[in-house]
Amino acid sequence: FVIYMALLVWIILFKLQFSISEIDKIRSINLIPFHYKNEIGMNYHLKEVLENVAIFIPLGIYLCMFRHEFTVKVKIFFVFMISLLFEIFQYILAVGRTDVTDLITNTCGGVVGIALYCLIIRVFHNRKQVNLIITILAAVVTLVVVFLLTVLFIFN
């Protein structure tokens, strides 16, 4: 979980850069959902939307594992607040566009993670066993990601 959160910070705030000086200094706010502006005009970025959803799915799963006693509404609110904090920090640090679309898609990703976890629990009826399997899978994925990032860092 700690490695996941560190990666989330690196992805969202540091834009996968190894040097802070390489990060574009941008401070802007977009309050219009799914509104993108480029040189040609408005454009919809499905890839970015799907990436934002995907990177927040583990947060919903981890939240269910660590705080199963919280209601679904509280879990969704927690995911929303984490996403909001990232957007606020992007603005404060001038490291990206603060965008309501990101807030929506990040929260949707967390909701997908919460729903997946709840579905898996309903299918297998054993929270302890499901948590163990998810922990093992998360450890394997984490090791692969850390290995790939290490290789990337060495050759960059």
Q: What is the mean pLDDT of the chain?
A: 87
Dihedral angle computed from the Cα positions of residues 76, 122, 126 and 113, in that order, rounded to the nearest 10 degrees: -30
Q: Is residue 64 within 8 Å of residue 118, measured between CB atoms?
A: yes
Mean pLDDT for 49-55 is 92
Give 90-103 pLDDT, tens digit per residue: 998 888 788 899 99
Task: Give the mean pLDDT of 65-84.
Answer: 94
Query: Helix and strand tally (H, E) in the chain?
Result: 5, 2
Please report where in the chains the tokens 């190894």 appear, as a residue. Answer: 18
Give pLDDT, residue 60.
95
pLDDT at 49 over 80: yes
Classified as helix, coil or strand, 28 is strand
Q: What confidence tens digit (pLDDT) does each residue in 9-32 have?
A: 888 887 766 666 677 777 878 888
Residue 88 reports pLDDT greater than 90: yes
Based on its alpha-carbon atoms, the radius of gyration of the chain, rounded to whole angstroms, reads: 17
76-87 per-position pLDDT tens digit: 999 999 999 999
Collapsing DSSP to helix, strand or coil, 105 comes out as helix
Residue 39 binned pLDDT confidence (cut-offs 50, 70, 90): very low
User: Taking Cα atoms as reference points, which of 23, 144, 120, 11 lies closest to residue 68?
Assistant: 120
pLDDT for residue 55: 93
E strand segments, 32-124: 95-99
Q: Whole-model pTM?
A: 0.84
Sign of the dihedral defined by the CA atoms of residues 10, 89, 116, 62, in that order = positive
